Structure 1
Amino acid sequence: MEPKESPMRLREWLIAQIDSGKYAGLSWENEGKTLFKIPWKHAAKQDYRQNEDAALFKAWAVYKGKYREGRDRADPSAWKTRLRCALNKSSEFQEVSERSQLDISEPYKVYRIVEETHIHTNTESGVSSVRGRAFTDVHDQDVVHDNSNNSRVSGEKQADGRLELYSNNNVVGFDRPVNVSVTLLTAWYPISDLRLLVCVFYHGQLVQELITSSPEGCFILQGSAPVGNERIYGPCGAHTLSFPRLDTLSLSPGIAEAMSRLLPHLEKGVLVWVAPDGVYIKRFCQGRVYWNGPLALHQQQPNKLEREKTCRLLDINVFLQELQQHLQAGGPRPRYVIDLCFGEEFPDKNQPKSKKLITAQVVPLFAKELLEGFQKHEAELNLSLKPEAQK
């Protein structure tokens, strides 16, 4: 009996489909075959052709045994969602948002194939290494993790005094002493923790908060999600955080009146999400929206979000580089908190954020927990070394 052929991983399967030329719109974007274009038309479009526009998504469902021709009900939306989730979860693909075209008659997304990289850097006090191996493959270690897709960082002290920290898809080794140089892989495996902590404030008072983990992100708005967003993200799975009604809160008459004039202009709101290379936002509402954060052009004057234009709020590679500098050289803590201000200019040197009518704070939890995890274990290692230093 011939041995059964091993099933292909998504990467191998998808490369084979691109090379086959069987699917309209599925093609390589560069000679090195590291970028490819995948058609991304939504089923609600009038010119949608299921046999052509859903062919690739259907093929993946068939290959994975999730759809049996003639036995299961055809569900193009489910097929598309399944492949999209597989791409998002895979460490071997990275969406290139700035090259995607989703508002045209034949929309498409562009993805990069991520090469596995190993870095070993010699330092004066030892060797620090970053090894990209799956978090779930680590065994017999003191590893803390849960089922909520959290960026937990945990560690084990080795016999030679070396502390290894684990965080999702990465292993970072800290050699003694604590202030040894730490090398972080800037071309990091795509972030798998998509959670955002989103808080809404009325005149400095917290009135609403939500932790979202959807790959589609979170709408912050007045009313319902904007009509037509399906053409951008397919069937919308984004969470929605609505501005609370004014009559449910204790606000001064003047503030409440000003807010009642502002809220109707925020009907379509903004959409914020975590992508493999950073945190992004897109403004849909008519009302002006301003922001401040790690990539803001100005820190002392307003940064305006343009309507219907995707803006990157945080760059993951930059964050990791700043984290490296913070850990190895005592540089400033990397910034990751993003502030939004609706209807009023921000930052504003003449008025603090707490006095603005409506603001929101967006916190990517992978960044928060990664930084706090490193700092916690650095403190623990300092404590463990103290008794030895006193000998």
Structure 2
Amino acid sequence: MCTSAADTQDTMTQSSDSSSLGLKAWIMAQIDSGLYPGLEWEDKEKRTFRIPWNHAGRQRHCNDVDSAVFKAWTVHRGKYREGMDKPDASTWKARLRCALNKSPHFQELKDLSQAHIAESYKVYRILATESREKDEDSFSYAEERRDLRLTPAYPPNAPVSEASLDHFATDGYTCGMELECYYKSMPVCKWQALHANGCCISSRKVEIHDERIFGPRDILQFRFPNTEQISDHRQRLHTDSILKHVERGLLLLMTMNGLYAYRLCMARVFWTGPCAEDPNNPNKMERNVWVKLFDSRQFIHELGLYMHMLGPIPRFHVTLCFGERLTDKCGHAQHVTVQVEPQFAKRMYEEALLTMYPSCSYIEISPQNPSDELLIILKMLLQNINDCD
């Protein structure tokens, strides 16, 4: 049953006290307060909690109740003043979602979240990191990159040896990405990124590299090719107009926990991928916020289900569309798109097909190398996770 606007406002007032609290302390205080229906501990000892995540379009959605915790965070951050600013529930929700996603203190547990039930919710774990509480509106790239690597690849109760995780974290192959750029449906270039510090995709060479504008120096720099190869004049002009606004670029970082993106450019970026909140509609990437595009553990779990005929083919492709809203999952109708594949996921999927369909064993293969040894470790991780589940 929906509460009144007055009751909700009283909740806002109580929750906005101690405005100096960072996100981690604030969330814990709100959970313990019991002020918000659905915001509760999933397992307090494991520091996991539920947060209500009902969609506004659903019949059971009640604006005052379902938006209360998101509004409270916005009020707490001084981004909304009752009676002065226009209420915007979708913006409130996006603000808290972005704060949770980019904070090093939280990890979403997608396998425990419920998005397709009447009372939808997400589950997060509060991580015990050594980094101090930061202002959620002022993260630097270097801080995010360091803190992402503090995030464990698997929950503490997963039966994975420390030696395996060390190999998984330090071997350059696990940080690898394969990228292919398209101008409409025409492939124009391929890139391979094995650099553990990530890469940046942009439209121009930086003459004077200011890290506050273009991100860190110690990452691979990929440039969109010129548009001279486009024969259609109107398409070429449209493509050039988009690339003009991609000067600052998009940062991509592959860690043992997954694939992340950080949008610096003025051109809007829309994407589809395994971690998309709504896989059937375009997902807009916020600017200056880390967005998780691919989750390694989720992929390994889904691959295990697929190999046992218990689930569909796991997704590991990510489509990035620059300057236009995606109209199809492949992005072939748009002017500038990039397809991204984590290398280890592609390799594991190919190995799974050979395991499932032995008739393909006649394919010629090369001698084993260090990357193949890593694949053996990944398969052991997969078996361990299946045994645990």
Inter-CA distance 197–370: structure 2 relative to 1 (3 Å threshold):
same
- Once the two structures are TM-superposed, the CA of residue 275 in structure 1 deviates from its matched residue by 1.4
Match for 1:364 among 319, 342, 348?
A: 342
User: In 1, distance between residues paired with 2:291 and 2:132?
Assistant: 9
1:229 aligns with 2:211: yes
* 1:342 maps onto 2:331 in alignment: no
1:331-358, CA deviations, whole angstroms, 9 ceiling, x for partnerless residues? Answer: 1111010001111101459xx7222111
Shift of 1:208: 1.2
CA distance in 2, matches of 1:321, 1:96: 29
Q: Which residue of 2 aligns with 1:306?
A: 286
Aligned to 1:245: 226
The letter of the residue matching 1:219 is C
Q: Given the superposition, is the C-alpha separation of residues 292 and 382 from structure 1 closer, same or farther in structure 2, using an over 3 Å criterion? A: closer
Distance 1:97 1:207, change over 3 A: farther
Query: Structure 1 residue aligned with 2:193, among 201, 207, 212?
Result: 212
The question of 1:373 aligning with 2:351 is answered yes
Partner of 2:181: 200
* Alignment match, 2:311: 331
Taking structure 1 as reference, are residues 283 and 227 closer, same or farther at Cα in structure 2, changes over 3 Å only? farther
CA offsets per residue over residues 207-246 of structure 1, 9 Å max, x none? 111111111212111113695437997x522112211111
CA displacement at 1:100 relative to structure 2: 7.3
Please state how far the C-alpha of 1:194 moved relative to its aligned partner.
0.6
The superposition leaves residues 107-126 of structure 1 with CA deviations (integer Å, 9 ceiling, x where unpaired) of 8544257898774xxxxxxx
Structure 1 length-normalised TM: 0.50
Helix, strand or coil at the partner of 1:319:
helix
1:299 match: secondary structure: coil
Distance of 1:267 and 1:231 partners within structure 2: 10
2:296 matched to 1:320? no
Find the aligned partners of 1:116 and 1:253 in 2 and give their Cα distance.
Answer: 56
Q: Which residue of 1 aligns with 2:120?
A: none
> What SS does the corresponding residue of 1:377 show, helix, strand or coil?
helix
Q: Contact conserved, 2:214 with 2:248, CA < 8 A, in 1?
A: no
Using the alignment, how far apart are the partners of 1:268 and 1:335 within structure 2? 29
Equivalenced residues, count = 232
| AA of the residue aligned to 1:354 | H
Between Structure 1 and Structure 2, the one with more helix by share is 2
Larger radius of gyration: 1
How far is the alpha carbon of 1:309 from its aligned partner?
Answer: 0.8
Letter in 2 for 1:195: G
Distance, in Å, in 2 between the alignment partners of 1:232 and 1:367 is 29
**Equivalent-residue separation in structure 2 for 1:112 and 1:319 (angstroms):** 17
**In structure 2, C-alpha distance between the alignment counterparts of 1:116 and 1:191, rounded to whole Å:** 24
Give the equivalent residue in structure 2 for 1:67: none
Provide the rounded CA distance (Å) in 2 between the counterparts of 1:344 and 1:98.
38
Q: Secondary structure at the match of 2:267?
A: coil
Instruction: Please list the CA deviations of residues 46-70 of structure 1 after superposition, one character each: whole Å capped at 9, or x if unmatched.
Output: xxxxxxxxxxxxxxxxxxxxxxxxx
Report the counterpart of residue 266 of structure 2 in structure 1: 286
Alignment partner of 1:353: what SS?
Answer: coil
* Conservation of the 8 A alpha-carbon contact between 1:200 and 1:209: yes
**What SS class does the counterpart of residue 259 from structure 1 fall into?**
helix
- Note closer, same or farther for the CA distance 1:263–1:97 as it changes in structure 2 (3 Å cut): farther
Partner amino acid, structure 2, of 1:372: E
Computed over aligned residues only, the root mean square deviation of the Cα atoms, in angstroms, reads 4.3
CA distance in 2, matches of 1:300, 1:98: 38
In terms of fraction of residues, the more strand-rich structure is 1
1:382: how far off? 9.9
Indicate whether 1:260 and 2:260 are aligned.
no
Partner of 1:145: none
Which of 270, 277, 297 is the aligned partner of 2:277? 297
Q: Which amino acid aligns with 1:299?
A: P
Q: How does 1:1-391 map to 2 (within 5 A)?
A: 103=138, 108=143, 109-110=146-147, 111=150, 119=159, 134=164, 193-224=174-205, 227-229=209-211, 236-247=217-228, 249-348=229-328, 353-380=331-358
- Aligned partners of 2:349, 2:133: CA distance in 1, in Å? 30
SS state of the match for residue 297, structure 1? coil
Deviation of the 1:325 alpha carbon: 1.1
- CA distance in structure 2 between the partners assigned to 1:285 and 1:100 by the alignment: 24
On the 8 A contact 2:316/2:341 being kept in 1, the answer is yes
For residues 331 and 263 of structure 2, the distance between their equivalents in structure 1, rounded to whole angstroms, comes to 20
4+ runs deviating over 6 angstroms:
94-102, 113-118, 188-191, 230-233, 381-384
List alignment gaps of at least 5 residues for structure 2.
1-24, 26-44, 48-127, 363-389
Is the CA contact 2:274–2:316 (under 8 Å) kept in the aligned structure 1?
yes
1:338-391 deviations in Å (ceiling 9; x for gaps): 001111101459xx722211110000011110121122133339989xxxxxxx
What is the deviation of 1:132? 6.8
